[in-house]
Amino acid sequence: MPCSVHGTRTGRCWGGNARAMRRPAGHAHGLRGASRLVSNGARTIAHGIDGACGRPLLGARLAQARCQRTSRPVRHHTRLVCRAAKADVGADSPETAAPTKRGEVMLVAESLGKTHDGEKQLFRDLTFSIHKSDRVCVIGANGSGKSSLLSILAGSDAPTDGSLQVKRGVSTGRCLQDPEYDPDWTALEAVLSSAGGAAEALREYERAAASGDADALADATAAVEAADGWTLSSEAEASLSALGIADATVKIGAMSGGQRRRVALAGALLGAPDLIVLDEPTNHLDFGAIDWLAARLVSQGAATTVVLVTHDRSFMERVCTRVLEIDQGSAYMHEVGGSGSYGKVRELRAERRAAQQAAADAARTVLRKETEWMRRQPKARSTKSRARINQFYELTAKARDRPQDDVVPDLAAAGATAQRQGNVVLEVDNVAWGHDPAKPLFRSFFYEFGRGERIGVVGRNGAGKSSLLDVLAGVNAPTEGAVTPGETTAVGYFTQHPPAMPEGSRVIDYLKQDAAGGDAGSWEDGLRPEVVLERLGFPRPRQQQLIGLLSGGERRRLQLAAVLAGRPNFLLLDEPTNDLDLDTVEALEGVLASYGGTLVVVSHDRAFLEGCADRLFVLEGDGEVRLFDGPYGEYVEAVREREAAAARRSASSSATADARQPRDKGAAQPQGGNKVKKLAPWEVRELEELEGEVEALEERVGAAEAGMAKASAAGDYGKLQEWTDELGVLQGELEAKTERWLELAERAEAA
């Protein structure tokens, strides 16, 4: 049916608040063919899309005409947003002079607004378009409505105001917060459920196969083939495996929340849908799975449009080609992508706010004079007087339109300073732990933590990273050995999953009572709960908010407040960046850089881990906890060198083994003039000597590669260069001798 607001059948359309969406005269509707003018209050947006090439039709003259009421330029990248009460785009702005050619429009959002409780407006008047092949990252502060916006774009929710048009026939894959599946489904069935009838067709096939009914089996086979079930099933299993779920038959009911998120992610990717919407896709993934996901999204190229929210700057800059910024309730699309794109967005935000502040200051200067005139109570009898009165109210609005300060948590002032710490921090003596004592996740772990150590924990999913932190924090007792904290050690544990919080309690009451053990009088001077919350981004009015109305990121900040309030000197962080906004992640990085206590952190955010830890515990799934004495970047290089060396040794061994194998007696033999010359006696001796020399060189190459890895880990770049030079010489010698050995061996065999 046509949309009640827009009267269109083009794609999906959520319509809300028909009065707010009343179009001015001359409004040309539609995705192609004509320019559109959308007026809403003080804002005017000129927008047009060329149906032939997908180009914006906005030139500098049109922008200037729409922005006559203001004069200061602000750099926007995709859409020119001109506000009477906000910053605007000047005709000379270089960023708007040359529109870039884009693909066809996939979706258009017009004046979207969303509120959950009818009071707090998450966002308002969001207007933007997303084109085919765009990979857009949505950024904004916690509580700004990023997840709500993604739910609207994915078709899972409706806006309170405005409308969303999606191109007809577009298929959508979605991975949003807290996916829900039938607990009796297997992981494979849950993934296939996103592909329409494929899952049911495969279930019917299994039932028919079990029944032994040949006719039913034939019908079921045809149904699976019609739904492309075999191909989708193979793709689903491959995606699950890449995301760390090796057994596709495990039941959803037996899975953790993180595993269910990975199932939803595999479902979102299944069949390469036209539009993929992902909310924090890197949560609960290890580094290998993140690499796979980034490569998968980028490799789909122009065939797929991606919209995602992520706190992982490295992932964002690897994947995304545009950034949609939600700032203080409004949207700004930026044509930035690749390395350094987040920094560029911050620069653009600063420029925009500076221009907005300058416009407000200029309006206030003029307003002082106009206020004196208005105090004389002029009569609005003439056209000039009426215009001046109207101008006074416009100036008043502009003078009030100043950028709000970012709510960036002041973690250092919120209690992130450590208590005094003694010489003994924490001793780990022959510790083992596992659900099955016969197969522990880690064993024979000895370590004595020192003051001020900064250790990262890395490993694949399921290797035991979180379990190790649970044992160190005393949440789980080791199955073998002992963990002994020092007398002055105060442990703070920021767990990956927030603890259960009373949904009906106020934020301030939770921190005073639940988080502080009910003793509100134990807070030190300067660390009162109200002060801690303010410095973690909860202004006084927001502290009265019910916990049930907080966003995921705000809950994480509240959890962080409870941990930091104890001023721990042994701080354990398990995926601390999950659900935090990028500004809060940077604030956390900054305070950890100056944190005086001992730090142990698990994180899939590469940039965060690189900045926080200078050595690593490595869990490779074999029960060992290995110490790598260097930051994460050096560890990655060492692993790459080790894998490359193993690949070279494997290739060399395979070539040697193939050459040593006797030829098939039925193989064709050289004839006539191609007869192979018999080896001379000295060549026989050379062949025998070469075999030993090749084996010795292979051992020396392995030793050189090990020396390179050790030198890299120690930061001894002089020694690293020596080993690199020696390795180059050895590999050249090995290649030459191997070729000579193969030549002689083939002649000896042929003769």
Whole-angstrom distance, CA of residue 82 vs CA of residue 277: 29
Q: 174 pLDDT band (50/70/90 cuts)? A: very high
CA angle (183 as vertex; 180, 186 as ends), nearest 5: 100
Q: 646 pLDDT band (50/70/90 cuts)? A: confident
Q: What is the pLDDT of residue 367?
A: 73
**Which residues are within 8 A (CB) of 682 and not within 5 positions of it... i.e. 6 or more apart?**
none
Tracing tokens 């997303």 back to the chain, one arrives at 130
Average pLDDT over residues 451-478: 93
Whether 127 and 313 have beta carbons less than 8 Å apart is answered as: no
Q: What is the pLDDT of residue 690?
A: 84
Q: What is the pLDDT of residue 108?
A: 94
Which residue would you say has higher pLDDT here, 83 or 370? 370
Q: What is the pLDDT of residue 614?
A: 93
Q: What is the pLDDT of residue 494?
A: 93
For the record, the structure tokens of 147 come out as: 């997840």
β-pairing verdict for 598-602 and 480-485: unpaired
Q: Give the DSSP letter string of 396-436.
A: HHHHH--PPPP----TGGGT-SPPP--S--EEEEEEEE-SS
Q: 630 pLDDT band (50/70/90 cuts)? A: very high
H or E segment and range at residue 261: helix 257-269
Q: What is the pLDDT of residue 543?
A: 87
DSSP letter (8 states) at residue 168: T
- Residue 146 pLDDT greater than 50, yes or no: yes
b/e burial code for range 118-145 (CB count within 10 A of at least 16 → b): eeeebbbbbbbbbbbbbbbbbbbbbbbb
* Phi, psi values for residue 26, rounded to 5°: 85, 5
pLDDT tens digit string along 54-86?
A: 333 333 333 333 333 333 333 333 322 322 223
Q: How far is CA 623 from CA 193, 301, 435, 437, in A?
A: 36, 40, 13, 12
Cα–chain-centroid distance for residue 350? 24
Alpha-carbon Rg of the chain, whole angstroms? Answer: 32
By 3-state DSSP, what share of the chain in percent is helix, strand and coil, each rounded to 5? 45, 20, 40
Whether 694 and 656 have beta carbons less than 8 Å apart is answered as: yes
Q: What is the pLDDT of residue 521?
A: 41
Which residue would you say has higher pLDDT here, 439 or 43? 439
* Phi, psi values for residue 492, rounded to 5°: -120, 125
**Long-range contact pairs involving 610-618 (C-beta distance under 8 Å, separation at least 24):** 612/454, 612/456, 613/454, 613/455, 613/456, 614/454, 615/453, 615/454, 615/455, 615/456, 616/455, 616/456, 616/457, 616/458, 617/455, 617/456, 617/457, 617/458, 617/468, 618/458, 618/459
Which residue would you say has higher pLDDT here, 483 or 214? 483
- Residue 183 pLDDT greater than 80, yes or no: yes
For the record, the structure tokens of 480 come out as: 């073998």
Q: What is the pLDDT of residue 59?
A: 33
pLDDT tens digit string along 295-353?
A: 999 988 778 899 999 989 889 999 999 999 988 888 899 998 888 888 898 888 888 88
Q: What is the pLDDT of residue 173?
A: 92
- Residue 399 pLDDT greater than 70, yes or no: no
Most confident region among 483-497, 538-552, 728-742 by mean pLDDT: 483-497
Average pLDDT over residues 663-668: 45
Domain locations along the chain: 13-170, 412-628, 634-661+677-750
Q: Please count the helices (runs of H) and the strands (runs of E) in the chain.
A: 21, 22
pLDDT tens digit string along 687-698?
A: 888 888 888 888
Rounded percentage of the chain residues whose pLDDT exceeds 70: 73
Whole-angstrom distance, CA of residue 417 vs CA of residue 566: 10
Which residue would you say has higher pLDDT here, 241 or 71? 241
- Residue 256 pLDDT greater than 90, yes or no: no
Average pLDDT over residues 95-119: 69
Q: What is the pLDDT of residue 315?
A: 93
Which residue would you say has higher pLDDT here, 671 or 110? 110
Most confident region among 307-316, 417-426, 496-505, 530-539 by mean pLDDT: 307-316
Least confident of 362-371, 461-470, 569-578, 654-663: 654-663
- Can you give the three-state secondary structure of 53-111, one letter per residue? CCCECCCHHHHHHHCCCCCCECCCCCCCEEECCCCECCCCCHHHCCCCCCCCEEEEEEE
For the record, the structure tokens of 40 come out as: 């809403």
Whether 309 and 582 have beta carbons less than 8 Å apart is answered as: no
Q: What is the pLDDT of residue 380?
A: 58
β-pairing verdict for 615-619 and 480-485: unpaired
Report the length, in residues, of the chain.
Answer: 751
Q: 402 pLDDT band (50/70/90 cuts)? A: low
- Residue 225 pLDDT greater than 60, yes or no: yes
Whether 563 and 494 have beta carbons less than 8 Å apart is answered as: yes
For the record, the structure tokens of 276 come out as: 């993929």
Dihedral sign from CA coordinates of 527, 530, 532, 535 = negative
412-628 — its CATH code? 3.40.50.300
pLDDT tens digit string along 8-19?
A: 333 344 443 333
Q: What is the pLDDT of residue 83?
A: 28
- Residue 681 pLDDT greater than 70, yes or no: no
Most confident region among 250-259, 304-313, 717-726 by mean pLDDT: 304-313
Q: 573 pLDDT band (50/70/90 cuts)? A: very high
- Residue 151 pLDDT greater than 90, yes or no: yes
Average pLDDT, the chain: 76
pLDDT tens digit string along 430-439?
A: 999 998 888 8
- Residue 639 pLDDT greater than 90, yes or no: no
Average pLDDT over residues 397-420: 60
- Residue 601 pLDDT greater than 80, yes or no: yes
Q: What is the pLDDT of residue 660?
A: 58
Whole-angstrom distance, CA of residue 710 vs CA of residue 337: 36
The helix/strand/coil state of 127 is: strand
Q: 407 pLDDT band (50/70/90 cuts)? A: low
Tracing tokens 């200029």 back to the chain, one arrives at 362
Q: 102 pLDDT band (50/70/90 cuts)? A: low
Whether 470 and 510 have beta carbons less than 8 Å apart is answered as: no
**Which residues are within 8 A (CB) of 206 and not within 5 positions of it... i.e. 6 or more apart?**
none
Which residue would you say has higher pLDDT here, 212 or 495? 495
E strands along 436-542, which residues? Answer: 442-449, 454-459, 480-485, 491-494
Give residue 341's identity as a one-letter amino acid code: S
**Which residues are within 8 A (CB) of 176 and not within 5 positions of it... i.e. 6 or more apart?**
147, 150, 151, 154, 156, 264, 277, 279
Whether 161 and 111 have beta carbons less than 8 Å apart is answered as: yes
- Among the listed residues 549, 566, 612, the one whose alpha carbon sits nearest the alpha carbon of residue 585: 612
H or E segment and range at residue 440: none
E strands along 486-614, which residues? Answer: 491-494, 570-574, 598-602
- Residue 35 pLDDT greater than 70, yes or no: no
Q: What is the pLDDT of residue 458?
A: 94
